[in-house]
């Protein structure tokens, strides 16, 4: 099991656009149209399967909210931060 990150480590490692809310890190990605957001969510899902670390996603109109936490560890670990960086790289 990965180690939980400290509050300071989380703040230091949060990738661009991401924020910490409790035991999760999240970012809302904006799009020009609804189906662009749907396609992005699919790409994130494929990435999650590759890395075997899965987000909670909410697809809205022209936006997708992506949330990561490490369920097994019960908080935020390197896996969450790494996935947030990889998710940013999809844009």
Ligand X SMILES: C[C@H](O)[C@H](O)[C@H]1CNC2=NC(N)=NC(=O)C2=N1
Binding site for ligand X (CB under 6 A): 52-54, 68-72
Q: Which is nearer to ligand X, 35 or 45 (CB)?
A: 45
Q: Which is nearer to ligand X, 31 or 66 (CB)?
A: 66
Q: Which is nearer to ligand X, 34 or 57 (CB)?
A: 57
Min separation Cβ 60 and ligand X, Å: 21
Q: What whole-number distance in Å separates Cα of residue 12 and Cα of residue 14?
A: 6
Min separation Cβ 6 and ligand X, Å: 19
Min separation Cβ 42 and ligand X, Å: 17
Pairing label, strands 56-60, 63-68:
antiparallel
DSSP characters over 28-62: EEE-SSHHHHHHHHHHHHHHHHHHT---EEEEETT
């Amino acid at each position: 099991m990965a180690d939980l990150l400290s509050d300071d480590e989380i703040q230091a490692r949060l990738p661009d656009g991401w924020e910490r809310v409790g035991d999760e890190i999240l970012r809302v990605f904006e799009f020009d149209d609804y189906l662009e957001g749907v396609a992005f969510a699919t790409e994130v899902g494929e990435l999650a399967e590759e890395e075997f670390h899965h987000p909670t996603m909410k697809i809205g109109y022209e936006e997708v909210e992506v949330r990561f936490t490490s369920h097994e560890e019960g908080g935020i670990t390197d896996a969450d931060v790494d996935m947030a960086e990889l998710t940013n790289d999809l844009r």
